[in-house]
Structure 1
Amino acid sequence: MALVNLSAMTLFLWHQTALMATTAMTLPLGRQPGLHTRPDHLGWVADE
């Protein structure tokens, strides 16, 4: 079970790295709804 937990943490950390890289690369394009803002209503999916 410990090996599964270790693998899960590794996977989680790689996904966090990808999320931060995507956020950093899209930041110069302006605030991206749902990525740089809190999705506080269902309309954020359709925002451009």
Structure 2
Amino acid sequence: MGSFSAWHWLIVLAIVLLLFGRGKIPELMGDVAQGIRAFKKGVEDEKDE
């Protein structure tokens, strides 16, 4: 019940690819990156005030 083997990670990766497709994953990661940038900018704006 402790750690995952390589087979577990391959199965998880296959399920993620089936759910989201190859084209959706980069788009999703880009959206996450934009959210992080916006959050950092908001925090910096709060420091300046």
TM-score, normalised to structure 2, is 0.53
RMSD across aligned positions (CA): 1.0
Structure 1 stretches (4+) deviating beyond 6 angstroms? none
Flag the structure with more relative contact order, 1 or 2, with Cα contacts below 8 A and sequence separation at least 6: 1
Consecutive unaligned residues in structure 1, runs of 5 or more: 30-48
Q: Max radius of gyration: which structure?
A: 2
Give the helix-richer structure, 1 or 2: 2
* Unaligned residue ranges in structure 2 (runs of 5+): 1-20
Taking every aligned residue pair, what percent have the same amino acid on both sides? 7
State the aligned residue count: 29
Distance in 1, matches of 2:32 and 2:39, equals 11
**What is the match of residue 31 of structure 2?**
11
Q: Taking structure 1 as the reference length, what is the TM-score of the superposition?
A: 0.54
